[in-house]
Amino acid sequence: MNVVYWRDKFIRYSKYHKYQKKFGFSSWHMEPVCSKPYVNDVIEYLKNAGKQGDSIVECGCGLGDIIADSSLEGFKRKGLDCKKEVIKADEEIFRKEIQDGDIRFEIGSFETIKGEKVDYYIAVNFLHNIAPEQVKNMFYDVLSSNEIGHVITDSVNSSDYPYCHDFDFLCDYGFSKKCLGEYEVQNGIRKILVNGKCNENM
Ligand SMILES: C[S@@+](CC[C@H](N)C(=O)[O-])C[C@H]1O[C@@H](n2cnc3c(N)ncnc32)[C@H](O)[C@@H]1O
């Protein structure tokens, strides 16, 4: 770990410690963004590929490092997380953005949204803990009851993580995948995958 990491960790701790104390979310969320290099690449991708007014939903949004990034202002944004303590913290941290109508947060998961048109649906950095059959069912829930343009997810190949998903089943919904980037994780590699509709320029 280098100087930048410890500086950013200190800054994040100073900013979020009071929320962790109040809401009791996991210490994982205290890790700075520089330890998750995929975060900025996903944000850059969204800024370049999307346009103002497009909708983005992030499932498993944590403390909003992706979905609540200020450079995504102008997109219609919603963050979902299954942990109440995480969403309660988001609602306080991003009170102004919520009041301004820039973003919404909701306790939930893949089955939460229904009948929505979503240009970019993101689920990164948690599916490696969930068995393939269940992941398939979770995507069935969201893809069969909404109109989703792109799915952004990740595939982690490491002996430290229980499951490495290839997301090939997304072909059945008309998606084809491209790799946005590869990132070192402990004992392996994380790939960020963008799945867009076949023949479309992603
Ligand atoms: C490791 S954090 C990643 C947060 C964010 N995606 C990021 O990359 O910075 C994983 C988050 O996913 C949430 N989560 C885990 N399983 C979930 C599920 N089945 N549905 C919704 N959220 C989930 C956790 O509560 C946690 O906040």
Contact between 3 and 32 under an 8 Å Cβ cutoff? The reply is no
Question: Which atom of ligand 1 sits closest to the CA of residue 81?
Answer: 22
Per-residue model confidence (pLDDT) at position 117: 98
Q: Where are the domains of the chain?
A: 37-197
Domain spanning 37-197 has what CATH number?
3.40.50.150
Per-residue model confidence (pLDDT) at position 50: 97
Phi, psi of 12 (to 5 degrees): -65, -40
Per-residue model confidence (pLDDT) at position 202: 62
Per-residue model confidence (pLDDT) at position 88: 98
The low-confidence residues of the chain, meaning pLDDT below 50, are: none
Per-residue model confidence (pLDDT) at position 146: 98
Residue nearest to atom 27 of ligand 1 (CA): 62
Please indicate whether residue 62, judged by its CB atom, sits closer than 6 Å to ligand 1. Answer: yes
